[in-house]
């Protein structure tokens, strides 16, 4: 008797069309909502993965700067050594002069030939032009001469040279 009663109620429920639109609309709404939040989650996951890669590259490309006289070049040089395993580009050479001024050299595009790249574990030399005139503004010229980047700046004792990479790492040294 109970099975017959259940079957009767099930038939009545299936034949009744009232409320069908609400059920179909609710299911469709839930499917759209699940699709939207899945896409948001996947986008967030991709963005955080990219940022994690950038942070890992920054951590693995620390640099060291040493300024001093080079007998073989007969000039002062700024040695930039990448202490990490990931290469990076050099962006700027900031110079804090003994007079308290700040000048900089753009290292990203030298003479339209591109910037300076320091591979992991490698060293790049920036020669300082000791015969160059004092800079008139805040920008110092950089040229390619014999496969070396030459910074047109006459260094003085006490000048602080700070190098900034394209990944945001920096290091500084003072000329003594």
Encode pLDDT of 68-99 as tens digits. 999 988 899 999 999 988 999 999 999 999 88
| Residue 104 dihedral angles phi and psi, to the nearest 5° | -145, 155
Percent pLDDT > 90 in the chain is 59
Of 58, 76, 77, 40, nearest to 164 by C-alpha is: 58
- End-to-end, the C-alpha distance of the chain in Å comes to 104
pLDDT above 90 (res 39) = yes
Q: Please tell me the distance from the alpha carbon of residue 125 to that of residue 149, in angstroms, as a whole number.
A: 7
Of 123, 173, 127, 125, nearest to 154 by C-alpha is: 127
The mean predicted confidence, pLDDT, of the chain is 89
Q: Which pTM does this prediction carry?
A: 0.74
Task: Report pLDDT for 23.
Answer: 87
């Amino acid at each position: 008797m109970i099975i017959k009663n259940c079957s009767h109620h099930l038939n009545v429920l299936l034949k009744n069309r009232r409320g069908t639109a609400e059920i179909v609309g609710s299911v469709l709404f839930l499917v759209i909502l699940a699709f939207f939040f899945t896409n948001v989650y996947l986008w967030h996951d991709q963005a955080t993965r990219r940022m994690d890669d950038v942070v890992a590259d920054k951590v693995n490309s620390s640099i060291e700067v040493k300024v001093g006289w080079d007998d073989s070049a007969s000039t002062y040089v700024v040695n930039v050594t990448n202490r990490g395993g990931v290469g990076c580009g050099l962006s700027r050479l900031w110079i804090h002069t003994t007079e308290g001024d700040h000048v900089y050299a753009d290292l990203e595009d030298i003479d339209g030939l591109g910037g300076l790249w320091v591979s992991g574990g490698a060293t790049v030399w920036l020669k300082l032009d000791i015969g160059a005139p004092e800079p008139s503004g805040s920008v110092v010229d950089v040229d390619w001469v014999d496969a070396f980047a030459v910074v047109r700046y006459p260094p003085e004792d006490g000048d602080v040279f700070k190098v900034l990479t394209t990944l945001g790492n920096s290091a500084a040294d003072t000329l003594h």
